[in-house]
Amino acid sequence: MQTHISTTPFGRRTMTLGQIANQARARAMPKEAVANKWHVFQHIREARELLGATDRSLAILNALLSFHRETELSAEGELIVWPSNEQLIARANGISPATLRRHLAVLVECGLIIRRDSPNGKRFARRSRAGEIEQAYGFDLSPIVARAAEFRDLAEAAQAEKRAFRVARERLTLLRRDIVKMIDAGIEEGVPGNWGRVLQTYQAVISRLPRTASRQFIEDICAELHELHAEIRDALESFTKTQNLNANESHFERHIQNSKPDSISESENGFRKKKEASGSVAETDNVRSLPKRDLPLSIVLDACPDMREAAQAREIRQWRDFLAAAELVRTMLGVSPSAWQEAREAMGEVQAAIALAAIYQRAEQINSAGGYLRSLTDKAREGKFSTWPMVMALLRARLDEGKHRQTPENVISEPGPLLEVSDSLLNSLRKRKL
């Protein structure tokens, strides 16, 4: 017969009110309470985040449960196990003694076990002459029985939270995919609207999404994206209602609005056969005489300063930043995704981005940016195109604008940052007619 069950832990370990509450809950459980220890352990494992338990602590709890011979734990039975540290370490996959002590403390703090320490801190059981246990010192598994229903409810709540989180992530993925493809469809089909602003709004929302986000934060982002999704969808649906759609998609004729009678649409096949307007960025007849080295990023930015403004707060320090700005400029110019893809395939990503930057710099002089890019793409396929003439023409134009000022021979002064040009490049600009 047990004389006294210890309440406080042995040694320097402190006592907390939470431990007192867990002990009181264990004493108050009904005498007929019974629980399958492995079923309860499964519930604890599923609800470990809500309980504050760790993977290592659960491994130790699993080892402690294995020291109890019965699968069904009863309130009327003996619920104290007294394995040594060596035995626990062996059954917990060989963890270190320090790790064992630390995670045993976690199990106590979470209310999953109760310490029943002996006067000297040893774990053992005293038996009667008949072999029955009179007094045991070790770890009390009473919370496994007393809180079995609570653990089951927590496991169900954890599963519901996981499902809600998975649904929120799926919704976010679908909204992002729909918005991006609808924006591309709006540009491709010539739907009137400020698609550059729409894309900027979308990127502003997505940029606030961290690498790891809570379910509530993801749902808040989804709510904002849903409003943007509805706005884009309504614009596309309103546009389709105004068109005379053919039931056969293969005979669908795309409507392209153009306020300039003389402008050239990128969908017109005749564009590639027509002569470029006088406001074109550059001629490409002297491709073979151009240098065989790549254009430095600094020269491209000096020739196309509007790219810095298009990048907004982001600085363009390397080609990766330049390519990201080109994607934004594409939507501002209304260049379709198909035209942009063909240009990148024919020229390469960097050269296509430079060509697009030059078009953006002279956007006011070009009627159809998409059509002009397609024309340059055709020339690139034939090996008759290089971005050197375009960039050099823009630099030469800036040089001509600065001639009326009194500046050093190798400096072009304009509002904003100074454009420094080397002597060799300056002579090349003056001699070469691009």
Query: pLDDT for 123-172, tens place per residue?
Result: 877 877 777 777 788 899 999 999 999 999 999 999 999 999 999 999 99
Q: Which of 398, 385, 311 is nearest to 355 (CA)?
A: 385
Residue 167's pLDDT is what?
95
Could you say which DSSP state residue 295 is in?
P
Residue 100's pLDDT is what?
92
| 40 and 140 fall within a common domain | yes
| 66 and 211 fall within a common domain | no
| 141 and 172 fall within a common domain | no
Q: Establish if 29 belongs to a structural domain.
A: yes
What is the C-alpha to C-alpha distance for residues 212 and 147, in angstroms, rounded to an integer? 32
Q: Indicate the burial class of 336 (C-beta count within 10 angstroms; 0-12, 13-18, 19 or more).
A: buried
| 139 and 174 fall within a common domain | no
| 296 and 348 fall within a common domain | yes
| 118 and 190 fall within a common domain | no
| 417 and 287 fall within a common domain | yes
What is the C-alpha to C-alpha distance for residues 197 and 97, in angstroms, rounded to an integer? 61
| 138 and 185 fall within a common domain | no
| 311 and 410 fall within a common domain | yes
What is the C-alpha to C-alpha distance for residues 51 and 231, in angstroms, rounded to an integer? 43
> Could you tell me the CATH number of the domain that includes residue 121?
1.10.10
Q: Please identify, among 93, 112, 146, the residue that sits at the C-terminal boundary of a domain.
A: 146
| 283 and 427 fall within a common domain | yes
Q: In this predicted model, what pLDDT tens digit does every residue of 179-220 receive, in sequence order?
A: 999 988 888 888 887 888 888 889 899 889 888 889 999 999
Residue 251's pLDDT is what?
44
| 190 and 322 fall within a common domain | no
Residue 13's pLDDT is what?
67
Q: Establish if 202 belongs to a structural domain.
A: yes
| 190 and 135 fall within a common domain | no
Give Cβ neighbours of residue 319 (< 8 Å, ≥ 6 apart).
297, 350
Residue 261's pLDDT is what?
39
pTM of the entire predicted model: 0.51
Residue 313's pLDDT is what?
64
- Its domain, for residue 70, covers 17-146
Number of domains in the chain: 3
Low-confidence residues of the chain, pLDDT below 50? Answer: 1, 244-292, 404, 406-418, 424, 432-434
Q: Establish if 377 belongs to a structural domain.
A: yes
Q: Establish if 256 belongs to a structural domain.
A: no
